Structures are given as structure tokens and as C-alpha cells.
Amino acid sequence: MTFVRGLWKVVVAIKDGLSLLFLILFFGLLYVILSATPHAGGPTHGALALTIDGPIVEQPAEVNPFAGPAPREYRRAELVHALDVAAQDPRIQAVALDLDIFAGGRQTAISDIGAAIRRVREAGKRVVAYATAYDDDTYQLAAQADEVWLNPMGAVIIAGPGGSNLYYAGLLERLGITANIYRVGTFKAAVEPWSRNDMSPEARQANQALADALWSQWQEEVGRARPNAQLAAYIGAPGDAIQRTNGDMAEAARAAGLIDRIGDKTAFKARMAELVGGGEDGMPGSFRAVLYDSLLIRTPLLGRGGNIGVLTVAGEIVDGEAGPGTAGAETIVQALEAGLRDNRLGALVVRIDSPGGSAIASERIRQAIVNVRARGLPVMISMGSVAASGGYWIATGGERIFAEPSTITGSIGVFGVLPSFEGALRNLNIGADGIRTTPLSGEPDILRGPSDEADRFLQMGVEGTYRRFLALVSEARRLPVARVDEIAQGRVWDGGTARQLGLVDQFGSLEDAIRAAAERAEIPEGNIQPVFLEPEADWLTRWFGGSARVRSQTNVSPDPFARLARRPQALIRRALDEAEMLLGGAAIQARCLECPPSYDWPGETEGGSLSWLLRLAGGR
């Protein structure tokens, strides 16, 4: 009996311990949920406090709550929306634009936000920008403000587009690895890093023309915003400008008219307090601030219900399903079908911001768009910063294409890369042999190298896909196939040139495309209600992911020289990413690797095939 009573006490103790543990976990989870979920509280009067402490993207990637600190990604459309609300809301008197650790974005996206800043100024409200370092992206945005502030220890460093890429042909030869390349297009430079140690004349011609066009547009935009700035002289000889001020970089930028005031962040905030009043806490440098997240919650962009569907194709185009920020074909098609089912749509706008990817996935999305047109709905295409290769493939499904002068598009070409290791095995005295029953048995053979029949088969697959690409463009753009072939060949174009070539119908933003879609659907302008057709985030992302909206974490230094150091880091990281995309992606790809990345964010890269190759080459 004593034993039974003792056993019972043990069971009761375990039960009480588990109950206590459950309660602790429950209240801990409840605390996390309540603290992670953003709320619409906070001031509604004062200056819109817009601290962009991450990159600007078309569609933010899904937040992984267990992956550790990550930069917050800012949706381009939400930034534009918030600035437009600020322009119209009489309670918001100014905008405080803090760009101290801004991680950049593509040129077109920044131009759209710059246009929204100009609308705030046209509404009679002052916009004040601050940073310790202004690079190309940061200054393109800040130049649109009424006042540009620079930290006394800061600098303006404008480099313009350009730089070196990595070429791996020599490395592969050293390792005994053969890059079997299947391609169509004189300018499809995506495969050149695997076949050369330098840039081909054709790729140099195309890339230089694109860089020159984008650089010219950047200078024109910034020049209009800062007409009195000695922009060309400062950019052409920054060392001379700094020498004239005895090495004072901030004073050199002010002397050249690039900035208006020199001061630290406390002085910047004190200036905002002059404009809109001091903060309730009474702390030095505080001002009445309307929080960006609270504003978005009160006046959300991504509402439910509407008559103009906006379907976003952002990031790499891949087969199957994928989270936000990557264009998973099945995910996008399902979102489109759900949007058509749940809304009374009168028209569709497809927003593309993608350098391409899988040809099959691109066709899957294009066909879904064609099916919408078959139902009698007008379909407009809105190109963001990049709509190239597979992105342009999808664009052929619409009836009218809107782009902007700095949009990167074209790259109408197809390729495939298959590594084989016959040389590496030979160097290691390892043999590879086997049997076959057909010419394609065991092919493509990455151990002994693809057979002639496999090479022929793969090349014909690439050529067939390219012919289909040309036919789609020919039909959509009403151009002869021979003419499309002339302007295709894998070459990348800026939006202005693409319009002259007939690849684009007109210049315009997403908002212009929405208005055009409404006009075609005979929807009065006052009744236009856009609805973004995107899958709803799961409960885990909504609860835990909300913390990224409130507490963005970053390890970026505002130091101007740290921004220079980001460039070589980004080069290596991009090389690793490209290797993974080529070696681990679809067999036949319509992808633009010449297109610049959306932003350069320093961070850890897991690496993969290329990092393994580099370790081999280094004997590690």
C-alpha cells in the first residue's frame, strides 16, 4: 500500500509539473503573439517617420521566425501608398526620411518612390532626408527631398553602374570539370562565366549600352531634382572636390550643392521638431511622429475585395510552389484562380519584377493569363524594375505592356548548363563505365560526359524553346519572327530602347496600368478598387512574422566606407547564387543573369556547388 501511495504521488507530481509547463508555454506564446502583432496605435498628427532600414522590393519574401535576424524588406507599392496618404492627410505635415542604413533597390522602384515624394512636396508638405552615407540608390531617393542632411562624418559616394564579374572557365579546367553549354542567342551572356575567362565583345557591347542608358536616366532624374548641384563635376572628380575642403567630405558635398545641411541625427530630429512640434516624451531631438507601420494598418494597401486584380510575379520564376518573393508557377496560378473566384474582377494587371527562370514555369503562368483574356477580361502588363527572359515570356500573355525608361527587359533567349566530371575523375584515376539499351540510357552522363546524341537532344530542346519564345513574341507584338530574332538573341534592353523596338507599348507605372485596365473595363475612375491577388500568409507567419514589421534587425553600418565594402561581398555572394540557380534549377532556362540584383545586402551565404568548387581549388 505504501508503494501505491508513493507511486500515486509521483504521478500527481508529474501531472502538476506538466500542467505548470503547459501554462508557462501558453502564456509565453500569448506574449510573443501580442508583442509580434503590429497595432494601429500611435500618433496620427505630425511628420510621417519613414525609416527605410532595409531593401525595397516588389514583393517581400516570407519571414522565417526561426532563421534569426534578417533585414526587413519594404514593398515598393506600400511605400508609394504611405507617401500618397501623407500627401492627402491634413494631419500629416511633413515627412522625415531616414536613410541611414537603407539597403537600396533597383532604379525603377526608387524612381516610383521618388515620384511619390514629389507629390508630397506638391501638396505643400516638407520632406527632409538624412543619412551618414549617400551612394547611388540612397542619393537618387534623397535628392527628391526639400532638404538633404548629411552627418558631419559622412560622405556622398556616387559610383554609377559597372564593375567586374567572375568567370570560371580556368577554375573548371583546373578541376577537370566540363561545362556543357546549350544556348541560343548571340548576346545570351548568362553562360559566358562557364565558358570564358573574360567578357565577349557581344556581351560587352550589350552590357555597356544598358549601363549607359541607366546611368543617363539616373543623372537626368537627379539633375531635375537638384538643378543647382554641380553633379557632373563632383562625380567626375570627387577627389578634387574633397581636396578643396581640406579633406572634409561632408563640406565638399555641401559646396557642390549635393546636400543642404550638415548635422547629426539629433540635429535632424530637432529640425523635424521645428516643422511639426516636439515629441510628447520631451526628449532632445524628438518630434511628433506618425509611424509608418501604424499608418499602413489604418489605411492598408493590400485590402480584400476589388474590381481590378493585381497579380504579382516577383523574383526567380520556378516550377511548383514557392513563398512570396519567388515566383512559384503553381502558387501564382492558384492565387489568380482564387482571386477570380473571390472577387468580381473587371480586369487584371500583371505586375512583373523578375529576371526569369524556368521556361516551363514561365509558360504555365503565361497560359493562365491567356485563359483570363479568353474569359473576356482586359489584361494589362506592368513591368517593374526587371521583366526579362522568363519575365518577358509571361508579358506576352497580356494585351498591352507598360514599362518605365529604367526598366530592364528583353533578354529573349534560352540556355542550359550541365556540368560533367570526366576530367576530374581522370585526374583522380577513377573509372566510370556501364551499359545502355538506348542512345539515351544513363544520359546525360555527368561522369563520362554527355554523348553526342544527348548533346544533340539537349541543344534541339533549347532551340525548340527559343523558336517558341520567338513565336510568342511575334504574335503578341505583331512583329515578323525574323524581326523578333534580330532584337532577341538574348540581348537585354532598357525600357526606353525596348519601347522604340516595339517590345513595350508605353511608359507608365503600376498605377497607370491599373487606370488603363479600368478604362478598358469601363470602370469609372472614382470606382477603381485594386486588389492584390496574393496567397494569404499562414498563421505562423502572421504571428511571428509581424515582429519583422515592428523590429527590423540589421547589421549594416551607416559608415560611407562600409558601403563600398559591400560591393565585393555582394559580387562573391551573387556568384554563389548564380551557380546554384544554374546547376540546381530547371534544365532549360529563360533567365537574365546580366540583370543587376534587386539590392546588395551583406549577410551569410550558405553557398553550394560553386563554394565547393572554390574549396577544391584551394586544396581545402
**For residues 597 and 309, what is the distance between their CA atoms, to the nearest angstrom?**
27
pLDDT of residue 332: 96
Q: Is 195 a catalytic residue?
A: no
Q: Is 188 a catalytic residue?
A: yes
Q: 608 — phi, psi (to 5°)?
A: -170, -120
Name which of 394, 399, 419 is nearest 591 in CA terms.
394
Residue-wise pLDDT for 447-477, tens only, equals: 888 999 988 888 898 889 899 999 999 999 9
Q: What angle do CA 373, 374, 377 make, to 5 degrees?
A: 40
Name which of 603, 469, 571 is nearest 103 in CA terms.
603
Residue-wise pLDDT for 510-546, tens only, equals: 999 999 999 999 999 889 999 999 876 554 554 444 4
pLDDT along the chain (620 residues), means of 10: 58 65 62 48 84 94 67 92 96 96 93 97 97 96 97 95 87 89 73 87 89 96 96 94 95 97 95 90 80 92 81 94 92 94 93 93 96 96 95 96 96 85 89 88 87 89 91 96 92 94 96 95 91 72 45 48 50 55 56 59 43 42
**For residues 545 and 294, what is the distance between their CA atoms, to the nearest angstrom?**
16
Q: What angle do CA 551, 90, 48 make, to 5 degrees?
A: 20
Q: Which residue has the cell 507598360?
A: 402
**For residues 612 and 620, what is the distance between their CA atoms, to the nearest angstrom?**
9
Whether the Cβ atoms of residue 256 and residue 222 lie closer than 8 Å to each other:
no
Name which of 600, 392, 357, 599 is nearest 492 in CA terms.
392
Question: What does DSSP assign to residue 287?
Answer: B
pLDDT of residue 192: 85
Helix, strand, or coil (residue 344): coil
Element containing residue 409 per DSSP (H, E): strand 408-410
Percent of the chain with pLDDT over 70: 76
Q: Which residues contact 240 (CB under 8 A, 6 or more apart)?
A: none
Helix, strand, or coil (residue 586): coil
Q: Which residues contact 212 (CB under 8 A, 6 or more apart)?
A: none
pLDDT of residue 546: 44
**For residues 474 and 472, what is the distance between their CA atoms, to the nearest angstrom?**
5
**For residues 331 and 59, what is the distance between their CA atoms, to the nearest angstrom?**
14
**For residues 51 and 272, what is the distance between their CA atoms, to the nearest angstrom?**
14
List the catalytic residue out of 294, 362, 389, 474: 389
Q: What angle do CA 523, 117, 311 make, to 5 degrees?
A: 40
**What sign for the dihedral angle of Cα 261, 266, 270, 272?**
positive
Phi-psi region of 478 (alpha: psi -120 to 50; beta: other; left: phi over 0): left
Find residue 97's DSSP bridge partners: 50, 129
Whether the Cβ atoms of residue 305 and residue 346 lie closer than 8 Å to each other:
no
List the catalytic residue out of 125, 188, 358, 547: 188
**For residues 225 and 511, what is the distance between their CA atoms, to the nearest angstrom?**
22
Report in angstroms the alpha-carbon separations of 10 from 6, 14, 351: 6, 6, 63
pLDDT of residue 419: 86
Question: What does DSSP assign to residue 318?
Answer: E
Domain 46-162+209-298 has CATH 3.40.50.850: no
Name which of 144, 151, 104 is nearest 560 in CA terms.
151
pLDDT of residue 291: 94
